[in-house]
Structure 1
Amino acid sequence: MSLLYRFAKLQDRANTHVFTFVVTKSVTRDLERDVTSKEFACGYHKWAITFSRTDKVLGVYLVWKSPSDGMRVYVDFTFTLLNREHFSVNEAFTGKQVKFTYDSPAQGNRNYIPVSDLYARNFTDTNGEFQLELTMGNLRTVYDTEFSVPQSIFGTKSGAQKFESSYFTFGGFDWNVALYPHGTKDLALHGLDGRGSIPGRGKRFSLFHRVQAGSEAYPASYPISTRGSFPGGSGDGRVSVYLNRLTGFDHQCRVRYNIVLGENDRRLDSGIMDDVSDTDGKGYGWHPRTRFNDLVYKGVVRLHLEMMVANTLSEVAVTSMVLPTPVVAQCYDRDKQAWTIKSDCHSETVRLHMVYKDIHNVARNHLRYVCWTAYLMRLHGKSGHMEPVALPGAPFSHYYSQEASDEGIIMETDIAVKENEELHNVYSSPNIIRMIKSRRMRWEGHVARMGRRGMHMREPGCPYLTDKGQLRVQVEWGECYLLFQATYHKYDDVCRIHNYQMRREIGVLQAENYGLERQLFSYQKSIAYAHSRGTYSDDPATPDGRCEDDDDGPYFEEPAYSLGDRSLSTDTEYA
């Protein structure tokens, strides 16, 4: 049996995830029996570790549990067997950009360590249990397919023609790609009208790839590309490509991907696209400025898709003023756990109070790690779309154990609060909707002058407020893990011991480095002093640079000092 015990995420370029497992003695006791851990998520895929044992050797494998035909996953991973005495004798196995496919979903080392070494080298405790650390990073997900093009398609330009790929799994959802050779005549068929609105819903969602990269609503860390695209596939004979979500229609989903059509000189790259898949599973799509005929090569159109992000979204509306009874909005995460959000306008800026309502459902003696990013939705004056503005301090994360109730987490915003009494008078006015609409344009210039910092709600036309005077909050759910052992345990001692050992050795290395730097500085000081006396020479024949055949008399009669005379530097320390 193998239990996920601890988890850590490193803020590095590789987006490294570190998982620590507690492996029970059943792995080493039962011969010819493979032991597999419970599934865990990393890089929007489900994984597990499995052990195989023969008479003398223990093997370990990383298993991709959500494979799809045509999809490949590349990952850097390292298995580290934690030694109970010293970190320098840990047993590690590393793989760089290892490829996982539908036919080869398991990769690892069948001769990881001799079983006798587990006990002889002090990897196991008195119960025969040991800890295995798995590090994963640089995950890449690639999907390749091709569409066979019949000759009859070139004789018509009907917008109803399309090619669809097989489905694949990513981020806990099933997806496929739809290619329209001559565009879509009616965007409403795909959940969008020409302005990016969702028909019949009376509201608009965020089209991220229509927001410039580096803006305050969408930071530069989210690259956006609109190369070769234009808003709307209007059925004018140009290609339209849609990424369709086939499951999980109870939530919206933020997705990031890159599509490449064609090959060789007919290759067309979309760049990194950011989109929102609505509750019907439809997104804005990609509409390149090219003809379908230019992509066909030998009767085939090849499609290369790289999936990067697929996060569940929840959206609620909260009040923006002080009320006798606070209005609480409820939402659900990807595991259908209930959360509540309410606004707090008693401070100088608006604060959001987020509470985990289903905290009593956390498994006993377990920790639930949850990570999320919260946004305030703001109306973009020129495009008319709602764009997300991340809250300061995002992303947020917390560990939850089984309790009767949750105290909640306070999330700060940059929006200043108007005086409570004045707010109440403003929003109790019967003409509030007319006032908001009339003053919204005044806010556009005001926001442009002030920038992100210093936003306040002194005008009813604030772009953060809806027509009802509410704030729209969007929550993007990230990683979520259920970890064994909710309290401090002896298993934690191993990592703490390794931590102190590393600190001690790093301190010794720093002291040694400091001593070497002092010696180097002393030598440089001696050389500089010799230069100032004019006695330094690169010729090692004599200390003062004279040649051996000079007849000016013996060297010891000269009053000049040499580089070799250590009395030049009275405060120099030598090793």
Structure 2
Amino acid sequence: MLSGRILREFTPDIYSKDFVYGYQKWNVSFVRTDRHIGAFLKLQSPSQGLRCRLDFSFTVVNRDHFTKNVSFIEKSCEFSPDASVFGRKTFIEIEDLLKRNFLQETGELLLEVEMRNIHSIYECFMRLPKEIGAGNHHNNNHNHHATSHSIHHHGGSRRDSYEERMESTYFMFGLSDWSISLFPDNSVAEADGSVEVQLQRHTSFDHLCYVRYRIILGDEGTFDSGDLEQVLDASGVGEPFTIGASVHRLARGRSTLRVKVEMISVVSVSEVYLSAIPSMGHSRSSTGGGLGGAARAHCYDRDKQAWILEADLTGKYLAFRLFYTDISHVPRKFSRYVGWNIRLVSKGGSPRPKRTVDGPYSKYYVQQEADDGYVIRTDVLLDELKESECPYLDGEDRKMTLHIEWMDSHLLINPNYTSLDDVTRLHKHQMSREILALQAENYALEKQLYSYQQSLAKTTSGLPSRSNSRANSCERNSTVNRM
């Protein structure tokens, strides 16, 4: 909702609160001129070398009919530190807002902002070591060139043959700082060399995270990793992977190596451990709906909200219940929307965690004394948990390891909004997009028809008319008669 005071003279610019989309922080602003209201979208978390490309639109909603709405669309806008704001100064005329029934009963304007198809790409040029195996080089960083320096060992691990680290500058994604490190293998000849690549997170160390990304090395995409998914531990260090080519071969004789990183997604993860021993009692638990004596684990989401996960071992298949224990702390007149997913981590066999059935999940929470819990089902038979070689249980304490992915968390001002409202809102959004697509198609057909008409008119004007043809024919006949 945009305050109606934007229509008054000498009104200062109006800014929205910051919000997150595509793992970046944004806000919108509205600027009044003598005749128009301007609307702008700004990237609040720009990083040197990072470009965010996306489509967005602004729409001011008319009270009478949706066909009277006024909107504009910007496609493939590339946000960067040098160009962090896009929009239109002349979005809508003030006179139109006053005369065409745009003001709501509260005196405010209802606006919609849509953002789609975001791509976040970081790019830098890493300066190569001058001498192979020399070690401990320190090159200054110019024009986003990364430094080359001695490797820091993490967690006591050693890379004896990887004496140097080439590291990028930091960039922002998912409200955390990241960098890419390359570890050239200088212990062998250049033709047989290799390089390790490692993604690192430098902030937000309170959670594990799943990160999806893609790395391209070389000016012409000499190496393309494709989409990768990794688990980064609480220290922020990911598992490195090895490329079977030296940095000099990847750079193709140049003194710098071009590095592009497309960041796709990052999700905070709570790692919990649950016992697989069935509960003997069936009394109600204090969490509001669980089984007494059930295996449970406490955890916190990325907003420091407290939760409890219980294992439900009473049916044929393994199931879980997730309780929002801080539900009594949801502010009055607000609701909290939370989206999550759960993976059952395998101890052996398949390297990929097993997702639960019907995920991901979401729910709207309002203030109440206790949460009844959200049932999460799996297709894992309880009989499998009794097997000595069960891939989901630790061999010693017989506990399951689960990863809760906290995908979304938003505090909403409307406490009565539920998942049922999502359906009608989605349908409205789909219909409006269909109408826009049909309008664009109709406009394209009209242009094509006009082009055909113009072409036909030119063709017709180049042909002799019937009267001229008859006159020419009579003239030829009279000439023949004279002869």
Say yes or no: TM over 0.5. yes
CA distance in 1, matches of 2:234, 2:241: 19
- C-alpha deviation, 1:105, in angstroms: 0.9
2:379 to 414, 420, 429: 414
Is 2:315 the partner of 1:347? yes
Matched, 1:246 2:246: no
Unaligned runs of 5+ in 1: 1-21, 186-235, 419-455, 510-575
> Are the aligned partners of 2:193 and 2:244 in contact in 1 as well (CA < 8 Å)?
no
Structure 2 residue runs without a partner (length 5+): 136-159, 282-292, 439-483
Provide the residue aligned with 1:295 in structure 2: 250
Distance apart, 1:470 and its partner CA: 2.2
Q: 2:227 aligns with which of 269, 272, 279?
A: 272
Matched AA of 1:309: S
Give yes or no for the alignment of 1:370 onto 2:338: yes
Structure 2 match to 1:481: 410
1:295 match: secondary structure: helix
CA apart distance, 1:314:
0.9
1:164 alignment counterpart: 167
What residue in structure 1 maps to residue 474 of structure 2?
A: none
CA–CA distance in 2 between the matches of 1:184 and 1:269? 25
SS of the counterpart of 2:226?
strand
After superposition, what is the alpha-carbon deviation per residue over 1:151-182, rounded to whole angstroms, capped at 9, x for unaligned? 23465696221111111110121101111122
Q: Does 1:139 align with 2:118?
A: yes
Percent of paired sites with the same residue: 37
Query: Do the aligned residues in 1 keep the contact of 2:132 with 2:186 (CA within 8 Å)?
Result: no
| Partner secondary structure for residue 379 of structure 1 | coil
Inter-partner Cα distance in structure 2 for 1:370 and 1:166: 33
- Structure number with the higher strand fraction is 2
What is the CA–CA distance in structure 2 between the aligned matches of 1:119 and 1:481, rounded to whole Å? 33
Runs of 4+ more than 6 Å apart? 500-503
Q: Say which SS state the counterpart of residue 27 (structure 1) adopts.
A: helix
- Which of 10, 15, 33 is equivalent to 1:36? 15
Relative to structure 1, is the Cα distance of residues 178 and 352 closer, same or farther in structure 2, using a 3 angstrom cutoff? Answer: same
Pair 1:396 & 2:361 matched: yes
- Among 172, 181, 184, the residue aligned to 1:181: 184
Deviations 1:158-211 (A, max 9, x none): 6221111111110121101111122799xxxxxxxxxxxxxxxxxxxxxxxxxx
Kept in 2, the 8 Å contact 1:318–1:471? The answer is yes
The secondary structure found in structure 1 opposite 2:31 is: strand
1:333 is displaced (CA, Å) by 1.1
TM-score relative to the length of structure 2: 0.75
- Which whole-Å deviations, capped at 9, do the CAs of 1:248-280 have from their partners, x for residues lacking one? 11111111111111113x721111111111111
Which residues of 2 match residues 146-545 of structure 1 at below 5 A?
146-153=125-132, 159-182=162-185, 237-264=193-220, 267-296=222-251, 297-320=253-276, 321-324=278-281, 325-381=293-349, 385=351, 387-418=352-383, 456-467=384-395, 468-487=397-416, 499=428
TM-score by length of 1: 0.63
Separation in structure 1 between the aligned mates of residue 74 and residue 389 of structure 2, nearest angstrom: 56
Alignment counterpart, residue 130 of structure 1, candidates 109, 120, 133? 109
Distance 1:170 1:500, change over 3 A: closer
Shift of 1:291: 1.4
How many residue pairs were aligned?
Answer: 389
Residues 60 and 108 of structure 1 are in contact (CA less than 8 Å); yes or no, is this contact kept in structure 2? yes
Partner of 2:43: 64
Does the 8 Å CA contact 1:270/1:288 hold for their aligned counterparts?
no
Q: Please give the per-residue CA displacement for 1:94-121, whole angstroms capped at 9, x wherever unaligned.
A: 1111110111111111111112222322
Range moving further from structure 2, 237-246 or 467-476: 467-476
CA deviations on 1:519-561 (whole Å, 9 max, x unpaired) are xxxxxxxxxxxxxxxxxxxxxxxxxxxxxxxxxxxxxxxxxxx
Secondary structure of 2:248's aligned partner: helix
Equivalent position SS for 2:30: strand
1:469, distance to aligned residue in structure 2 (A): 2.3
Identify which of structures 1 and 2 has the higher relative contact order when contacts are C-alpha pairs closer than 8 Å and 6+ apart: 1
Partner of 2:145: none
- Higher mean alpha-carbon deviation, 101-110 vs 115-124, is at 115-124
Aligned twin of 2:449: none
- Supply the distance in 1 between the matched residues of 2:305 and 2:259 (Cα, whole angstroms): 37
